[in-house]
């Protein structure tokens, strides 16, 4: 099978998908923005060819590259795993006759108001929302729905530029900030109270082949705004025995069907609170922040290879046995500046060394990243254990014990 893969070299995690495809026997032709000589030898060796373009999100350039490749070999699939690349890839698929996720499905998975409208029409429980091109539309929505509200870019990923507002004054301030960024359209949503988590899948022909349920502690908006918190997310191995996770799985399958997702990785956010289980949003691509590394460690299975096997051969290679739960704790610097050192690391590694998946501690002198940069922006620790509650306890202990000194 010949597979064109969009942007194999950046970000660094992209190489994992290429190596996985090659490992299951696919011929991978990369299309990216980097000069080929800048790619490492292992990555170059995993590809049957490589074509450089100026911008992989430029549909004209990407189409020309794919048509050139098609003039030499038959192209079975065109894959993109970065959120900002997915729409261009879908447009090129339709222009060149390559099967895969459609433009309509990709658009619905990126444009949050349209996504939620389609899901409400399909009976999927989700928050009230609207797309707003003018400030008066936001004010009208606020008057109708009430506070709190969530404002975010229509096609943003994760919590990027997401803002909660609780009053008229807060809404006025948020609209000013969005205006300053040049945003011409934003998504406005009813705030859904409750615990937040996500449901990730690898789907084949509209059916779920592999899946995972993961919990945030605390919810993302709080985690990305509060320095003293050492936030964590934990993927559970309790899926087979839980009625709640059965409900999450059923919700996810309904979303996949409603949006017309065929063969793809997906990343879905959900809330559970006083109003029950509510769908939040979906990305028609793999999750970020190393989630698949946790899923691999919690199952002793290479999830990247599983994705590649589904893409190339249409079947799973291994099943998820779920012997472990696994999680990450983000370790924030005490202030912005440069790393000056760490305390508590040896203590935590001494207590939990056998359960450590990996850890990252930037060297002294390294420039810190802001709190909102995410879970892996500064120091972090990843752990696994057969018992979910034990993993949570170990991660919390690490967050309280390890201190990242900066100045």
Domain 128-190 has CATH 3.30.1490.20: yes
Q: What residue spans define the domains of the chain?
A: 2-100, 128-190, 195-406
- The count of other CB atoms within 10 Å of the CB of residue 68 is 11
- Tell me how far apart the alpha carbons of residues 270 and 279 are, in angstroms, rounded to a whole number: 5
Asked if the model's pLDDT at residue 180 lies above 80, the reply is: no
- Extract the tokens encoding 175: 């609209």
User: DSSP of 157-224, one letter per residue?
Assistant: -TTTT-EEE-SHHHHHHHHHHHHHTT-S-EEEEEPPPSEEEEEEEEEETTEEEEEEEEEEES-HHHHT
Q: Are 179 and 163 in contact (CB under 8 A)?
A: no
Q: Are 89 and 6 in contact (CB under 8 A)?
A: yes
For residues 11-26, average pLDDT: 97
Answer CATH for 2-100 from 3.40.50.300, 3.40.50.720, 3.40.50.20, 3.40.50.2000: 3.40.50.20
Q: Are 401 and 346 in contact (CB under 8 A)?
A: no
* Parallel, antiparallel or unpaired: strands 379-385 and 325-331: antiparallel
For residues 106-130, average pLDDT: 91
pLDDT of residue 275: 85
For residues 134-152, average pLDDT: 88
Query: What is the H or E stretch that residue 5 is in?
Result: strand 2-6
Asked if the model's pLDDT at residue 158 lies above 60, the reply is: no
Confidence bin at 159 (pLDDT 50/70/90): low
Please name the residues in contact with 250: beta carbons below 8 A apart, sequence gap of 6 or more: none
- Tell me how far apart the alpha carbons of residues 179 and 185 are, in angstroms, rounded to a whole number: 10
Tens-digit pLDDT profile for residues 348-378: 999 999 999 999 999 999 999 999 899 999 9
Asked if the model's pLDDT at residue 191 lies above 80, the reply is: yes
Q: What is the average pLDDT score of the chain?
A: 94
Fold for 195-406, please state it: D-amino Acid Aminotransferase; Chain A, domain 1 (3.30.470)
Tens-digit pLDDT profile for residues 203-220: 999 999 999 999 999 999
pLDDT of residue 141: 87
CA-closest candidate to residue 116, choices 247, 288, 270, 275: 270
Q: For tokens 């100045």, what's the residue?
A: 407
Task: Average the pLDDT over each of 161-165, 325-329, 338-342 and give the range with the smallest value.
Answer: 161-165
Q: Are 210 and 320 in contact (CB under 8 A)?
A: yes
Q: Are 77 and 99 in contact (CB under 8 A)?
A: yes
pLDDT of residue 157: 57
């Amino acid at each position: 099978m010949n597979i064109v893969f969009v942007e194999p070299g950046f970000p660094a995690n992209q190489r994992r998908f290429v190596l996985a495809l090659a490992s299951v026997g696919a011929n991978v032709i990369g299309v990216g923005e980097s000069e080929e000589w800048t790619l490492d030898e292992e990555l170059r060796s995993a590809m049957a060819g490589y074509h450089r373009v100026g911008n992989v999100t430029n549909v004209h350039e990407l189409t020309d590259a794919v048509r050139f490749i098609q003039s030499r070999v038959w192209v079975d699939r065109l894959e993109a795993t970065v959120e900002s690349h997915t729409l261009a890839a879908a447009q090129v698929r339709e222009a060149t006759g390559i099967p895969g996720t459609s433009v309509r499905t990709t658009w619905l998975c990126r444009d949050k108001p349209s996504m939620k409208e389609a899901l409400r029409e399909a009976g999927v429980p989700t928050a009230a929302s609207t797309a707003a091109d003018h400030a008066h539309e936001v004010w009208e929505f606020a008057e109708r729905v009430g506070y709190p509200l969530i404002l975010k870019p229509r096609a943003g990923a994760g919590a990027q530029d997401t803002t909660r507002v609780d009053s008229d004054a807060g809404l006025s301030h948020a609209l000013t900030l969005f205006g300053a960024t040049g945003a011409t359209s934003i998504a406005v949503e009813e705030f859904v109270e409750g615990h937040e988590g996500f449901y990730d899948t690898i789907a084949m022909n509209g059916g779920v082949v592999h899946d995972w349920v993961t919990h945030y502690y605390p919810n993302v908006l709080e985690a990305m705004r509060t320095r003293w918190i050492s936030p964590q997310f934990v993927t559970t191995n309790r899926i087979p025995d839980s009625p709640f996770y059965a409900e999450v799985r059923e919700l996810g399958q309904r979303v996949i069907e409603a949006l017309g997702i065929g063969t793809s990785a997906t990343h879905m956010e959900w809330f559970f609170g006083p109003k029950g289980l509510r769908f939040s949003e979906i990305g028609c691509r793999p999750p970020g922040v190393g989630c698949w590394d946790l899923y691999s460690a919690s199952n002793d299975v290479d999830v990247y290879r599983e994705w590649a096997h589904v893409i190339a051969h249409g079947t799973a290679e291994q099943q998820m046995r779920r012997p472990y739960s696994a999680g990450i704790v983000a370790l924030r610097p005490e202030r912005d500046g440069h790393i000056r050192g760490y305390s508590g690391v040896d203590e935590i590694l001494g207590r939990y060394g056998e359960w450590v998946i990996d850890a990252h501690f930037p060297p002294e002198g390294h420039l810190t990243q802001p709190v909102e940069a995410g879970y892996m922006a500064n120091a972090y620790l990843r752990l696994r254990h057969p018992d979910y509650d034990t993993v949570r306890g170990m991660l919390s202990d690490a967050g309280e014990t390890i201190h990242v000194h900066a100045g």
